[in-house]
Structure formats: structure tokens, C-alpha cells
A and B are shown apart, each in its own frame.
Chain A
Amino acid sequence: MNAITATAERPNFLTAEHGLKSWLLTLDHKRVAILYLISVSCYFLLGGIFAMLVRIELMTPAGDLMLPDTYNRVFTGHGVTMVFFFLIPAIPGILGNFLIPLMIGAKDVAFPRLNLASWYLYMTGGSLMLLGTLNGGVDTGWTFYPPYSSSYTTTNVLIVGIGVFINGFSSILTGLNFMVTIHRMRCPGMTWFRLPLFIWGHYATSLMMVLGTPVIAITLLLLVMERLFHLGIFDPAKGGDPILFQHLFWFYSHPAVYIMILPSMAVISELVACFSRKRIFGYHFVAFASIGIAVLGFVVWGHHLYVSGQSVYAGTIFSLLTMLVAIPSAVKVFNWSMTLYQGSVSLETPMLYALGFIGLFTIGGLTGVFLGTLGFDVHVHDTYFVVAHFHYVMVGGTIMGYLGGLHFWWPKITGRCYPEFWAKISALLVFVGFNLTFFPQFLLGYMGMPRRYHAYPPEFQVLNILSTAGASVLAVGFVLPTIYFLWSLKSGRPAGNNPWGARGLEWETSSPPPTQNFDSTPSVSREPYDYFEAAEEAAGRATPPAHSH
């Protein structure tokens, strides 16, 4: 199973065809991944600019940089862009698209045309959102709660809502495509329990995308109907029920949190195994924890409604279920940590991100237990405590996993290595900047500072200044990789097929891979992460297993 040395100058997926048209009409999953990489990065930049504007405004207690209406549009823009156009599509769209066929030994995803169509849907939704933003934006918060969103605000709820609606279909189709690919396209010998955990994580994510996204689509459609045709669905003045919206919204949007975090966990499993040169501890438990999170994640939405007027008994049930969903996450964290035990650990950049992820996700997950606890949530609900918590999960979790994965597979995607020194500096800046930005927000929340406040009482200023300072460090940590990744495309050291000494089918083909991925259909004869077995075999202490079962 050793890597076959690539013959020089063989055409790869990047050089196989030339011209804009060859990209815009590509059916190659790897090229679609690159399309996502470019577009997702643009939305990340936009969302990041919104975030910096928010942080700069909040340096002083008075609302002195922007008008209140401007501020409200900026934080809404930040939320909508980051959630729907960065966090949800980032890892599945880029790394999932690139790696799922490679990891299971397939030539492409099951439906290549549908895959390209998903990107176009994403771009259509994203363009409508941009149009709405250029036209003045939306000021409802990314949660679009009626009756404010349906009957009161005069901002661009319709166009942005329709943009998010269309983008939802991109999610649904991507999830469907991944599920069929994983079921039908595995190479000989690739049984379910020989799948890398990256695949298990994406399978669980796909399940949630396919089952959850239609609900937000319906909900946004109902909102549009109420706004456009004055149908009384959510606005009590028209005979509707605003809590109904909150139930429907969170029925999708809580699972959406797992849609964002599960792919990141999937990446972390790969990184921890590779940089410990050891099989992931408790492979089956980690795999089923993903499925457990996906299933339980659908029945906890009511914990967003503890103070909404929902019955206290409903709150009781949702709190209990929320406690249960913490368990598979804890199981994952312990198994990752235990993988290092008796491993051969090296702290290269992707591993720094992976370990950073484990630390930050632990805090994000545990503060999730705080918020699931009824008596505690009442006090901090809709305060900065919640803001800090979900940024620990979304930024500390999803973005750490995304950046770790991007660094790990960058040599495979581009055939070039990035400068390790600068990458380590950037990983450090992200970790420190992140904690400086968001840890003070836990304290602000407990002190009582509500979220979505343009101006605030002066006693909250010191912590807000710390948070803004952290955001600046974080911004540098995000700009650095952009620079050295672009630099590496021309000037990076050639990566070779397998710069990390990693196991897994994607490392057996050349970097960048050829359009058809493999020269001949690979076959698999062992469980994944077979570092130990491969070393035994190389040392002549074990015989290679028979092929194909």
C-alpha cells in the first residue's frame, strides 16, 4: 500500500483543462471543491468585515460609530453570511467534495452534475443575499423572528430570505449526493467499518442536511407569505403564533449547529490519527457518536425557547434531551485525547489546530451544558454568554477544524507545501486571538449584557475592549494563511504524494490527483489508520492481509 511515485508533468485535475469555461462547467468533484473554496472564502471575508465593524462599534459604550439601524444591519449581515454562506457549506463543500470520493476510492461523487448544480444554487442564494445587503441589508438578526421580521421591519427580508431558501437546496442536494456516494461508490474492500471517520462524520452531516433543511425552507417560505400576502401564520395581529416560528426555525437551526460541527469533528479525527500515527481510539464509538449526535440533535430545539413562553414542562423535556446530546460529544473528546496515548505525536500545523479544536470545543461543549441547564439559562439567555458559547462551538470548533483540514490537505489539493513556520504562527494567533475575543464575552453575559446591543452601560466597557483587541489578533491569524497559501501555489515546495506519512487512499494517488483520481481502482484490505500494522509489515514482522473481503 505504499505510495506510488508520481511521474513528473502528468496532467492533474488542475492542469487537465484550461479556461474559465472548463471550471464553470466542470463535473470533477475536485474542481467543484475549488469553486467552493474560492466562493466560501469571499463570504468569509464579507462576514469577517461585518464582525470587525461590530467589534469596533462596541469598543465604546455609546453607539457612536454607526447609527442604530446600521449596526442592526451589520450584525445581521455577519450572522446570515457566516451561518448560511460560510459555516454550513465550508467543510462539506470544500473538503467533503474533494475528499469523499478520494477516501472511498471512487472516481467522483454519485451525481457529478447535481454536485455542480449545488454550487450554482449556493451562488444564486448567495447573490440574492448580497443583492439584499447592497440594497440596505436586513435588521432582524439571522434568526428572522416574527412578527418583527414579517410585519414591522422595512428592510430586505424578502430577498435575503429567498436567498437563504435557495441556498438550502444546495445543502439538501449536497447531502443527498454524499449519502448516495458513500452507499454506492465505495471501492472493493471498503466496508462500512473500514471507512475513515471523515466519511462517518460527513454521512451524519448529510443525514441532517437532507432531513432538516426542508423545514427551514418551509419556514422561510411561510415568513415570505406572511410578509408578502399578509397571511396570518406567525403574527398574532393577523391570527398567527410567533412561537410557532421559533419552533420551526430551531427545528432546523439547532441541527444546523451540528451540520456545522460534525464535519469539523470528522476532520479532527483524521488529523489526530495522522499526527499520532495511531488508529483513532475507540473507532466504533467515535463513528456512532456522530450518528448519535445527528439523531439526538433533532430533538433538542426547544432549549432555545426556555424563556419564550413555552410550557415549563416542555422546557423540562428539552433540557433532559439536551443533557443527553452532550454525551456523544464527550465520548468523542475523550477518544481523541486517548488516541495520543502511546502514539507517536508530532505537532505540525494541522495537529496544532486539532489540539486547539479539542480545547476550545471542550469549553464550547461544556458551556452548552450550562445553557441546557434550565435555571442557569434563564439568567444568561440572549446575553453575551450565549454569543460566547456558540462562537466557541462555531469558531473554536468549525473554523479550527476547517483551517486544520485545509492545512492538512493543502499539499494534496495543490501539490505544494505551505511555509510551516508562518503556519504555526498563524495557528497560535488564531488560538490566542480567539480566546481573547470570546472568553470575556462569557463574563459580560453573566454580568447581564444583552446581545444585539448597539450601546451598552459603561461598566461593560473594559471587557468589550479586550474582546475587540482579541478580534484584531484573530483577524491577523486569518489573513496570514490567505497570504501564504496564495504564495505557496507558485513558490511552495513540491509536496509529493504523502508529505505527512499518512494512511488513507487519498494519500496514495498523486498530488494534485489526476482527474479520474486513481490510475486503477484501489482496493482496501484493512481497517483505516493502519499505522501500526503497516510498520509491522515494513519491518517484516507481519504479512500483508489477503485482498478484498
Chain B
Amino acid sequence: MNFKLPFVPEQASAAASEVDNLTFFLVGMSTFFTVLIAAMIIFFAIKYRRKSADGVGSSFENSPLLEITWTVIPLLVALFTFAWGLKVFFRLYRPPANAVEYQVTGKQWMWKIQHPTGQREINELHVPIGQPTRLVMTSEDVIHSFFVPAFRVKADVLPGRFTSLWFLPTKAGRYHLFCTEFCGTQHSGMTGWVVVQSPEEYQAWLASAPGPKAPSADGAQLFAQYACNTCHKPGPGGRGPILHGIFGTEVALADGGTVKVDDAYLRESILMPSARIVQGYEPIMPAFQGQISEEAMQQLIEYIKNPPPADAATAGTTPASRGNSR
């Protein structure tokens, strides 16, 4: 679309025009029904206005045909609307497999963001055009919500669990980032910018940004610091499962069930290890509930997901080399 409609925010993601098209349909449909009802009321109120003080209405007070009509037509319209909304919704929340992951942590009252290549930002997120981008988000305190109007996406950011959203930026520019779940005094100050750049500009920005160390590299240090590597290692001393390569797989549990290893399961296993024990292992791991920050948690999980190449074979005992394999 080349012209700019009033009251419609910039369309800067692939999903934006899909949401807007749905909106146009909803507005058109509602205008039709509103005008229809207003016209009925105004027309009848004039045509059948009271002509004498003791005038009364007719005895026409029932029509099964009309009742069926104005039940079935709105129902069909509503079901059609539901289906269209569902299609857009799944599009909004199902990231493609090649989406690049960024870590987002909300806290009163700022957004902390870490790039897959390690750069950190506060209240700003730089992303390149054309890169499917997935945000994995958590909160250090209360509930927040990550909203970029120009992308038409939003997801609540919760303490104690991960939520995610994704978008495909299509247009360079600076776009508002708002917190949309009330989070206390400076709620309306918990805003920032999403900066969409061309891939070249983005690379240049990455090179100039501070702290180019991948979260998985931080994770490797933490893996040693918390002494995870004393048990989660191959060989006779390995009293815990080997974690590298485990992400995304199904593992058998001691109680006979299975679980898919995802962010949520890794998180639970760190905080409350005895909740779901992998088959063949003893529940000997200490719980880390309350001892590990949300950022550290994300870095550990990143490390388990993407061990730096040097560590992949053994459970990381050496600090990671630069960057990760992505």
C-alpha cells in the first residue's frame, strides 16, 4: 500500500497488512449493521410517529421468519469472522523454523534485550529487515506486555515462565515499543523503540555495539559456576543426563511418561529438578529456585540449546570461544 490511511499505524511487518485487512472487513461489516439498525429506527420512528394521543401500534408482534433471518445471518457472519481471526492469530503466534531468537527480560520499568550474538540493549531493539525474529521473553518482577503497534504483535511477559512472539520486519524505521500490562508507577515510561535496519546497517550496528558475547557463552561460564558440569558430563562420574543435543527431543521419564525438552521443561528442571526426573537417573540434583536470576536462566538455557562448537562433545568445562555457531 502506497497511501497512508489515517489512524492506521505504520505497516512495518509482514503480518501488519493481514491484521489491517481483517480490520477493514470488521469495520465494513459493523458499518453495515450499524447503518441498517440506525436506518430502521429512524425510518420507523418517523413513519410510525404517534399521530393522535390515544394511538396504538398494530398487533404484528411475531415473525418466525424474521427471527430465523436475524439469528442465522449474524451467526454466519460471526463464524466467518472467527475463522478469519483464527487464521491471522495462528500466523501471529507460530514462528517459522528459521526464526532468529532474541532474549527479552522485562523489569520495573525497562526492557533488557540480548541479541543472539550477545549484544545487549536497554529499551531498544535493533533488527534487520527480512529476518524472521522471535523474542523469548520473561519478567523479573510483575507482569509486563511487549507491544509494537507497527508490527501488530503483542504478548504478555510473565515472571516465572517464558512467552514468545515473532515478527518479520519489512520496513526500515523507528517504531514504538510499549508496555501494555499495568506494572506500577512508571508503567507509561516503560517504552522504547524497535529500530528496523537494512541487513548491512544492522551488521554495522552489531559491530559497534558493546558486549559482543553470545548468551550461550555466558551460559557456559554459569554452567561451570553453578557446578552443573560436575554431574552433567559423560563418563563414570556423570550422574546426570548429558544435556547437549537434548533440546527439542523427547525423553523418557522415571514415572513412565515422556516429555519434550523445551524452554519450560529446562527451566522447571533447574528450579525444581525433582518435578520430572529423566528415566535412569536419581533425584539428587539440588533445586535452584530463588538462586538464579532470570537472565542467568536464559543464558543457561541458551547454552544447553546451542553449545559453542568446541564444547559440543563434552559438557562445557572450558569458557566458550567467541560467538556461537549461528
- Say whether B149 contacts A331, CB under 8 Å: no
A358 touching B188, Cβ below 8 Å: no
Q: What A residues does B3 contact at CB under 8 A?
A: none
Given contacts A307-B155, A345-B48, A373-B26, contact A531 B57 (CB under 8 A): yes
Q: Would B9 and A535 count as touching, CB distance under 8 A?
A: no
CB distance from A246 to the nearest CB of B (A): 9
Chain A interface residue count, CB cutoff 8 Å, equals 93
Q: Is the CB of B30 within 8 A of A148?
A: no
**A530 to nearest B CB, angstroms?**
10
Q: Of B90-98, B204-212, B230-238, B246-254, which binds chain A?
A: B90-98
When A359-B38, A381-B154, A447-B7 are in contact, do A535 and B56 touch as well, CB less than 8 Å?
yes
Q: Choose one: A363, A456, A535; the contact of B188 (CB below 8 Å).
A: A456
Cβ contact within 8 Å between A153 and B88: no
A331/B67 in contact, CB under 8 A: yes
CB of B67 within 8 A of CB of A376, answer: no
**Which of B115-123, B174-182, B316-324 has 4 or more CB atoms under 8 Å from chain A?**
B174-182
Is the CB of B70 closer than 8 A to any CB of chain A? yes
The answer for the CA separation of A345 and B143 in the assembled complex, in Å, is 52
Complex contact B87–A140 (CB within 8 A): no
Residue in contact with A307 in the complex, picked from B66, B78, B156, B183, CB distance below 8 Å: B156
- Report the minimum CB–CB distance from B68 to chain A (whole Å): 10
Q: How far is the CB of B299 from chain A (nearest CB, A)?
A: 19
**A366: CB under 8 A from chain B?**
yes
Determine whether the beta carbon of B44 is less than 8 Å from that of A340: yes
Contact indicator per residue, chain A 138-153, by CB within 8 Å of chain B (1) or not (0) = 0111000101100011
Residues 153 to 176 of chain B near chain A (Cβ within 8 Å): 153-156, 158-161, 163, 176
| A115 on interface, CB distance cutoff 8 Å | no
Residue with the greatest number of chain A CB neighbours at <10 A, chosen from B26, B84, B85, B159: B85
Q: Is A167 an interface residue (CB 8 A)?
A: no
Contacts of A382 in B (CB 8 A): 145, 147, 154, 180-181
Asked if A65 CB lies within 8 Å of chain B CBs, one says: no
Of A314-322, A421-429, A477-485, the one touching chain B: A314-322
Residues from chain B with a CB closer than 8 A to the CB of A277 are 50, 55-57
The answer to whether B101 has its CB under 8 Å from any CB of chain A is no
A448 near B63: Cβ-Cβ < 8 Å: no
Contact A376 B22 (CB under 8 A): yes
- Pair B57/A343 contact, Cβ less than 8 Å: yes
B61 touches A282 (CB 8 A): yes
Kindly state whether residue A457 has any CB partner on chain B within 8 Å.
yes
Q: Of A148, A276, A531, which contacts B143 at CB under 8 A?
A: A148
Q: Is the CB of B84 within 8 A of A375?
A: yes
Say whether A466 faces chain B, with CB atoms less than 8 Å apart.
Answer: no
Contact status A139-B57, CB under 8 Å: no
Q: Is the CB of B178 within 8 A of A147?
A: no
Are A362 and B34 in contact, with the CB atoms below 8 A?
A: yes
How long is the Cα–Cα vector from A372 to B30 in the complex, in angstroms? 14
CB distance from B8 to the nearest CB of A (A): 7
B62 within 8 A of A: yes
A68 to B184, CA, bound (A): 9
Cβ-defined contact, B182 with A145, below 8 A: yes
A63, A141, A382: most-surrounded residue (chain B CB, <10 A): A382
Given A145-B181, A382-B180; A346-B50 close (CB under 8 Å): yes
Q: Could you give, for residues 289-324 of chain A, a 1 whenever the CB lies within 8 Å of some chain B CB and a 0 otherwise? A: 000000000000000001111001001100110011
Cβ of A279 < 8 Å from any Cβ of B?
A: yes
Known: A152-B141, A236-B159, A323-B79. A366 touches B30 (CB 8 A): yes
In angstroms, Cα B191 to Cα A456, docked, is 10
Question: Known: A345-B49, A375-B92, A376-B85. Is A327-B75 also a contact (CB below 8 A)?
Answer: yes
Q: What mask results when residues 510 to 538 of chain A are scored 1 for a CB within 8 Å of chain B, else 0?
A: 00000000000000000000011111000
Please name all residues of chain A whose beta carbon is closer than 8 Å to the beta carbon of B189 when the two chains form the complex.
Answer: 68, 455
Is there a chain A Cβ closer than 8 Å to B293's Cβ?
Answer: no
Quote the shortest CB–CB distance from A65 to chain B (angstroms).
Answer: 14
Closest 5 CB pairs of A and B: A375-B88, A236-B160, A278-B57, A448-B149, A373-B85
Q: In the complex, given contacts A237-B159, A370-B23, what are 18 additional A-B residue pairs having Cβ atoms less than 8 angstroms apart?
A: A72-B187, A140-B182, A147-B159, A152-B141, A152-B142, A237-B160, A277-B57, A316-B86, A320-B82, A326-B74, A331-B70, A344-B51, A347-B49, A369-B26, A375-B84, A379-B149, A383-B180, A534-B56
Task: Give 8 A-B contacts (CB < 8 Å), ordered by A residue.
Answer: A145-B181, A341-B60, A359-B34, A374-B86, A381-B154, A382-B180, A383-B147, A531-B56
